Copies of this chain bind each other. A is one copy, B any other.
């Protein structure tokens, strides 16, 4: 049963020791991520929402009142780059910055009423996207396994 492709080399013209693209975790990870994002982007085109904006709204919705830097940090976004992102969400009337009490420097982030409604719709749209991925993966268990494995790469606790 076809092993890892290089082990059973008949000595023809195939160079030894050189990895095959299909067995490179980083490469396949990148391709898969690109594919998933592509599906995400197409799915969310009708409500004009990018992945980064989605994640920001979801975080604010789940935990309102957090400071800009806190949200940005959780998402791995540099606070400098977060500014324009937040500007856009504010201009669209979905989220807002409120002067945090206690610290006059920081802003606490919240959804607007319209933002709350938008997040509901957004979540529904997301479910159709995620469901499509589950089908590709071959079921919810496969998805759970994938999330687990990705979590291990990220160094998350083994639950």
- A residues at B contact (CB < 8 Å): 2, 14-15, 17-37, 40, 51, 55, 58-59, 61-62, 74-76, 119-120, 123-124, 126, 129-130, 133, 136-138, 142-143, 145-147, 149-155, 159
Contacts and interface: CB of A to CB of B under 8 A. Distances in A.
Contacts of A22: 147, 151
A12 to B, nearest CB: 12
A39 to B, nearest CB: 8
6 tightest A-B CB contacts, nearest first: A32-B150, A26-B36, A33-B33, A28-B150, A32-B153, A29-B33
9 contacts: A18-B58, A24-B55, A25-B143, A26-B36, A26-B51, A29-B32, A35-B154, A36-B153, A145-B149
